């Protein structure tokens, strides 16, 4: 009896506290304590994350402030450069106005001088014609009159030559000076245009960087405020949880010690160790599951916010008002307007310069024509002078012959040998026809020489006209090439500006997209942005290098063309010298010709006048053709611009359609993901419910069987105490039955303890049932 005291006490304690009640009491306390521990751990983890984010954002904020200050420092010299550029631009405008006024005054003075020169030439030509007629009719009978006329004409020719030389030198100097000034002005304008473009690009890049920095500062401020609010909320939650934990520390939860009979110490210790390990493993698993659930919730919330931000961004992208009211769009629009105004200004300047150039070319042509006319008048005056001199010499010779014949006649009349003189006179008369034949032969040779001279003159004039045409064609081609190169450069600049605007818009869109992502990817996004900016800058430098190479090439080509023009001018000068030499030879040969030169020269003058008219007509036709070609080129450029605008509009429409399709695809994907997540949640719930229903059904079956076994084990007499207490009373002599009853009760107690501690497995359950059934059968037997 003494040996059974301790198990009796244990049994009574077990009977006084049922296992189901113990489980019911143990579960809520353990769940509440575990939830509080999980909440504190999660809040601590969140606080650590928020502190890390705050530190990272502070570092980023300081870096951005430093960048902003550096950009301001960099922008200060740009402002000074802009001021100097504006001042130089104003000075250039004033210089251009002064040059335009000077050119106008000089052109007016040149026109007046030309009118006076033409009047003097006309009057001199009339006087020379009058004098030549007088000489032909024989009004001047004495040599004194001829000498006076020659002297006056020589004085006039010398004075006119001096005046013409002075005027030509002045015109050449003025034209050279004007050409040099125009070239310098063009170079200065091109340099200023390039500087203006570079400074405008630098300013635009600085503005874009400032806008981006401001947006980043605003975003970081918002994130700081949100992080501070989250920290305050987490601190409040931590304080409440700490207070609850301190309040729950004082409560004591009783631990049930269930068992049937004394078991060896090693087995009990092993069971306790296993139980402790299982509890620790369960707690760790529960902690991991709770942390994962919290992470999943956080990720789900972040995903929802990101999707909302994406939807907002898509709506804002779709809204034309938002796009048009955005700062980037306004900046681009202002830049386009400025560039358009600058393009119009430069076009107006270019047109003005082209008009001035055309005027200069027309003036040069007029000067060349007038110089040719002066040369013709000089030639005609030289020929007339030579004819007058020849006629004077012939008249003097004839007068001398007359005097000789008179003296001979006087001598012959005084002499006696008249017959001999008459014979000599007859011999002289008979020799006259031979001399006349010789003279006619010489005249025929001279006529042939004159025809050869006329053919040579015609060849020289045709060659000169061909040379002039080729020179004009070269000039026209050079002007066309320059105009086309300028138009191509303008179109290339427009295309480059459009590409840069597209790149900037893409970068802005990427900035907005990266702003909507998690804070974890902010550093990566910034690195990508810096890389993109570096690539853009490298591309810009590459484009600048290409532009410089193109400029160098164009400069080299211009130098080559100028060298070619110089060589052609030298060739033209050589040809002119040859022409002058040939003209001198012609003048020498024309001195020999006495008759029929006036008619030939009249014909030549008429032919030259006709040729001049034809050249003028050809020049006017070439000008009309060039104007028509210019109109065609402008039309083609306008058509190209229209095609570019149409292609850009088509590209914009296709991009909008692509964006809409992408948005629809993302929505469909998002809906699919939501449906899949809901399906997974429903499957998990179904599996949990199934597990709960199966567990509840197993527990109910076990409870029913336990009740049955308890009813079997209870005493049939008192119906209160178990049979193990009355074993010695019921079985007095049989020790076997007592042992069976004891083993049966031990098995039953082990079974109950396993159920209470939650260690029972289904296989063990069936093993216990089979053993207990066998024991009951043995007891009944």
| Nearest-angstrom CA–CA distance, 427 and 434 | 12
Split at pLDDT 50, 70, 90, the class of 336 is confident
- Mean pLDDT on 753-775: 55
Residue 469 located in a structural domain: yes
Distances (CA, A) of 153 to 73, 341, 583: 80, 63, 22
What are 714's strand-pairing partners?
722
Per-residue pLDDT, 319: 62
Provide the residue range defining the domain that includes 564: 456-594
Per-residue pLDDT, 5: 43
| Nearest-angstrom CA–CA distance, 510 and 525 | 9
Split at pLDDT 50, 70, 90, the class of 274 is confident
Give residue-wise pLDDT tens across range 68-100.
877 777 777 777 776 776 677 777 667 767 766
Per-residue pLDDT, 522: 58
Split at pLDDT 50, 70, 90, the class of 127 is very low
Residue 721 located in a structural domain: yes
| Nearest-angstrom CA–CA distance, 346 and 543 | 22
- Mean pLDDT on 679-692: 80
| Nearest-angstrom CA–CA distance, 140 and 692 | 152
CB of 768 closer than 8 Å to CB of 751:
yes
Q: Which of 545, 570, 594 is a domain's end point?
A: 594
Give residue-wise pLDDT tens across range 345-376.
777 787 888 788 778 877 787 788 777 777 77
The vertex-518 CA angle with 513 and 520, nearest 5°, equals 125
Split at pLDDT 50, 70, 90, the class of 726 is very low
Give residue-wise pLDDT tens across range 442-501.
777 766 766 666 667 776 777 777 777 777 877 777 777 777 777 777 777 777 777 777
User: Is the per-residue pLDDT at 249 higher than 70?
Assistant: no
Q: Which of 527, 561, 594 is a domain's end point?
A: 594
For residues 719 and 589, membership in a common domain is answered with no
Split at pLDDT 50, 70, 90, the class of 17 is very low
Split at pLDDT 50, 70, 90, the class of 414 is low
CB of 775 closer than 8 Å to CB of 747:
yes
Residues 6+ apart with CB under 8 A from 313: 512, 513, 516
CB of 567 closer than 8 Å to CB of 445:
no
Winning range, highest mean pLDDT, from 112-121, 211-220, 676-685: 676-685
| Nearest-angstrom CA–CA distance, 275 and 337 | 82
User: Is the per-residue pLDDT at 35 higher than 50?
Assistant: yes
Per-residue pLDDT, 317: 59
Per-residue pLDDT, 1: 42
User: Is the per-residue pLDDT at 388 higher than 50?
Assistant: yes
Residue 546 located in a structural domain: yes
Split at pLDDT 50, 70, 90, the class of 124 is very low
User: Is the per-residue pLDDT at 644 higher than 70?
Assistant: yes
Sequence-ordered strand ranges (E) for 41-82: none
User: Is the per-residue pLDDT at 670 higher than 70?
Assistant: yes
Cβ neighbours, 10 Å, residue 469:
14
Q: Which of 563, 594, 625 is a domain's end point?
A: 594
- Mean pLDDT on 308-312: 73
Distances (CA, A) of 486 to 349, 358, 549, 767: 13, 18, 16, 102
pLDDT top residue among 257 and 627 = 627
For residues 719 and 590, membership in a common domain is answered with no
CB of 31 closer than 8 Å to CB of 248:
no
Per-residue pLDDT, 413: 59
- Mean pLDDT on 621-650: 80
| Nearest-angstrom CA–CA distance, 371 and 168 | 9
Alpha helices per DSSP H over 250-326: 265-318, 320-325
| Nearest-angstrom CA–CA distance, 284 and 295 | 16
Residue 478 located in a structural domain: yes
The vertex-701 CA angle with 698 and 702, nearest 5°, equals 85
Per-residue pLDDT, 136: 46
Residue 696 located in a structural domain: no
DSSP string spanning 677-730?
Answer: HHHHHHHHHHHHHHHHHHHHHHHHHHHHHHHHHHHHHB-TTTSSSBTTTTHHHH
- Mean pLDDT on 106-130: 48
Residue 704 located in a structural domain: no
544's tokens: 């600048």
Per-residue pLDDT, 375: 76
Average pLDDT, the chain: 68
CB of 96 closer than 8 Å to CB of 346:
no
Residue 576 located in a structural domain: yes
The lowest-confidence range among 213-222, 548-557, 662-671, 734-743 is 734-743
Residue 773 located in a structural domain: yes
Our count of domains for the chain comes to 2
């Amino acid at each position: 009896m003494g040996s059974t005291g301790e198990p009796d006490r244990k049994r009574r304690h077990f009977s006084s506290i049922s296992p189901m009640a113990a489980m019911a009491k143990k579960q809520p306390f353990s769940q509440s304590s575990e939830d509080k521990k999980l909440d504190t751990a999660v809040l601590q983890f969140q606080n650590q994350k928020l502190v890390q984010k705050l530190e990272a954002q502070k570092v980023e904020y300081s870096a951005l402030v430093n960048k902003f200050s550096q950009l301001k420092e960099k922008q200060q010299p740009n402002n000074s450069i802009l001021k100097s550029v504006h001042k130089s631009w104003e000075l250039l405008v004033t210089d251009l106005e002064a040059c335009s006024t000077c050119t106008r005054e000089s052109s007016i003075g040149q026109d007046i001088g030309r009118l006076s020169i033409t009047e003097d030439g006309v009057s001199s030509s009339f006087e020379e014609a009058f004098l030549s007629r007088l000489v032909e009719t024989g009004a001047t009978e004495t040599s004194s009159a001829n000498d006076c006329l020659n002297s006056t004409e020589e004085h006039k020719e010398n004075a006119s030559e001096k005046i013409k030389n002075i005027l030509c030198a002045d015109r050449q100097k003025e034209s050279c000076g004007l050409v040099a000034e125009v070239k310098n002005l063009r170079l200065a304008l091109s340099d200023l245009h390039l500087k203006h473009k570079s400074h405008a690009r630098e300013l635009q890049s600085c503005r874009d960087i400032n806008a981006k920095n401001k947006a980043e500062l605003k975003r970081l401020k918002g994130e700081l405020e949100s992080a501070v609010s989250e920290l305050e909320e987490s601190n409040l939650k931590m304080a409440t949880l700490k207070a609850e934990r301190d309040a729950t520390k004082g409560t004591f939860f009783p631990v049930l010690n269930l068992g049937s009979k004394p078991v060896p110490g090693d087995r009990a210790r092993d069971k306790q160790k296993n139980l402790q390990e299982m509890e620790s493993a369960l707690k760790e698993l529960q902690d991991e599951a709770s942390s994962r659930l919290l992470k999943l919730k956080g990720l789900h919330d972040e995903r929802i916010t990101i999707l909302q931000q994406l939807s907002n961004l898509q709506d804002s992208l779709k809204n034309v008002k938002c796009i048009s009211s955005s700062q980037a769009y306004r900046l681009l629009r202002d830049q386009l307007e400025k560039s358009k105004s600058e393009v119009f200004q430069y076009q107006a300047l270019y047109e003005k310069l082209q008009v001035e150039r055309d005027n200069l070319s027309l003036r040069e042509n007029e000067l060349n024509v007038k110089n040719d006319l002066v040369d013709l008048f000089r030639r005609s005056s030289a020929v007339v002078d030579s004819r007058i001199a020849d006629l004077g010499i012939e008249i003097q010779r004839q007068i001398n012959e007359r005097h000789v014949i008179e003296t001979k006649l006087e001598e012959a009349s005084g002499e006696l040998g008249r017959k001999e003189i008459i014979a000599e006179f007859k011999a002289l008369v008979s020799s006259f026809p031979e001399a006349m034949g010789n003279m006619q032969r010489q005249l025929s040779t001279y006529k042939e020489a004159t025809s050869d001279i006329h053919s040579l003159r015609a060849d020289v004039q045709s060659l000169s006209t061909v040379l002039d045409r080729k020179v004009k064609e070269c000039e026209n081609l050079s002007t066309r090439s320059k105009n086309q190169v300028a138009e191509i450069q303008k179109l290339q600049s427009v295309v480059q500006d459009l590409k840069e605007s597209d790149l900037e818009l893409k970068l802005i869109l990427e900035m907005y997209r990266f702003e909507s992502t998690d804070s974890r990817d902010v550093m990566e996004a910034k690195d990508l942005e810096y890389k993109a900016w570096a690539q853009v800058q490298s591309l810009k430098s590459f484009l600048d290098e290409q532009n410089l190479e193109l400029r160098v090439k164009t400069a080299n080509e211009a130098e080559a063309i100028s060298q070619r023009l110089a060589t052609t001018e030298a060739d033209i000068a050589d040809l002119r010298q040859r022409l002058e030499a040939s003209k001198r030879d012609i003048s020498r040969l024309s001195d020999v010709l006495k008759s029929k030169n006036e008619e030939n020269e009249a014909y030549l003058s008429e032919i030259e006048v006709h040729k001049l008219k034809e050249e003028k007509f050809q020049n006017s036709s070439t000008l009309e053709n060039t104007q028509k070609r210019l109109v065609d080129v402008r039309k083609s450029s306008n058509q190209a611009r229209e095609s570019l605008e149409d292609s850009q509009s088509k590209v914009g429409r296709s991009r909008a359609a692509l964006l809409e399709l992408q948005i629809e695809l993302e929505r469909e994907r998002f809906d699919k993901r939501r449906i899949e997540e809901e399906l997974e949640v429903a499957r998990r719930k179904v599996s949990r419910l199934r597990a709960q229903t199966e567990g509840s059904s197993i527990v109910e079956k076990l409870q029913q069987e336990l009740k049955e076994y308890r009813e079997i084990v209870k005493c049939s007499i008192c119906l209160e105490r178990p049979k193990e207490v009355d074993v010695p009373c019921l079985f007095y002599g049989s020790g076997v039955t007592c042992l069976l009853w004891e083993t049966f009760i031990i098995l039953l107690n082990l079974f109950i303890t396993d159920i209470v501690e939650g260690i029972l497995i289904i296989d063990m359950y069936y093993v216990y049932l089979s053993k207990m059934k066998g024991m009951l059968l043995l007891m009944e037997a």
